[in-house]
Amino acid sequence: MTMLAPLAALFVFTCTLACFAHGTDVPVGGTAFHIRSKRSPTKYGNWCGLKTTGIGLDCCTCANTIEECRACLPPKDQLDEMCLRHDMCLCDQPPSNVLHKCYCEREVYNNIKGSSVCRQYSGWKNLLKRAQCSTYAASMVALFGGLPCWCDSKQKYVPNFSSC
Ligand SMILES: *[C@@H]1O[C@H](CO)[C@@H](O)[C@H](O)[C@H]1NC(C)=O
């Protein structure tokens, strides 16, 4: 665990830079942009990562159902499934032109934090996969705990989902 903390901090730092850079450089708006400006810059599975998403494929857009998108690009494990759900959550309207929505961030945070999401990798043969899964899950928890997001009930941005 002690080794995860600096790693998580690095992810948060990198993503904070990326988020603010996006906020100033790129006009906010457009489904493709806000869908792709999520999470940490590293990739995990088919759905986890800054530019890692199935949304935008011919068989998966925001007009498709979550089942259709899952069939279009199957998540590789339970953590990847959480990322799929998060991406689909960001499709919800309104408003469409925000980068992060507190209820999506809260959901993914609560589903991953302290969960058994990586325990599907059991036994010594899966030790590496489990470590990769746990590391990525920890970085997501750290990231989403400190990510400014749009709060629907307050109709404004707040420092993180727990301020919503
Ligand atoms: C949200 O931000 C507050 C204030 O910065 C902090 O105390 C709290 O721990 C954060 N929530 C999470 C879930 O990390």
Per-residue H/E/C for 18-61: HHHHHHHHCCCCCHHHHHHCCCCCCCECCCECCCCCCECECCEC
What does pTM read for this prediction? 0.72
Could you tell me which of 79, 59, 83 has the C-alpha nearest to residue 71? 59
Q: Across the strands, what pairs with 133?
A: none
Q: Across the strands, what pairs with 151?
A: 156
- Protein residue with its CA nearest to atom 13 in ligand 1: 145
Within 1-156, residue ranges assigned H as helices are 4-25, 31-36, 66-72, 78-89, 102-112, 127-145
- Protein residue with its CA nearest to atom 11 in ligand 1: 145
66 CA → ligand 1 middle, Å:
30
d(CA 89, CA 91): 5
29 lines ligand 1 (CB under 6 A): no
159 lines ligand 1 (CB under 6 A): yes
Q: In testing the pocket of ligand 1, which one of 108, 157, 160 has its CB within 8 Å of the most ligand atoms?
A: 160
145 lines ligand 1 (CB under 6 A): yes
pLDDT in tens, the chain (164 residues): 444 444 444 444 344 333 333 332 333 333 443 444 444 457 899 999 877 889 889 999 999 999 999 999 999 999 999 999 999 998 876 555 667 889 999 999 999 998 889 999 999 999 999 999 999 999 999 988 998 999 999 999 999 999 99
d(CA 73, CA 84): 9
Residues 41/103, Cβ–Cβ less than 8 Å: no
110 lines ligand 1 (CB under 6 A): no
141 lines ligand 1 (CB under 6 A): no
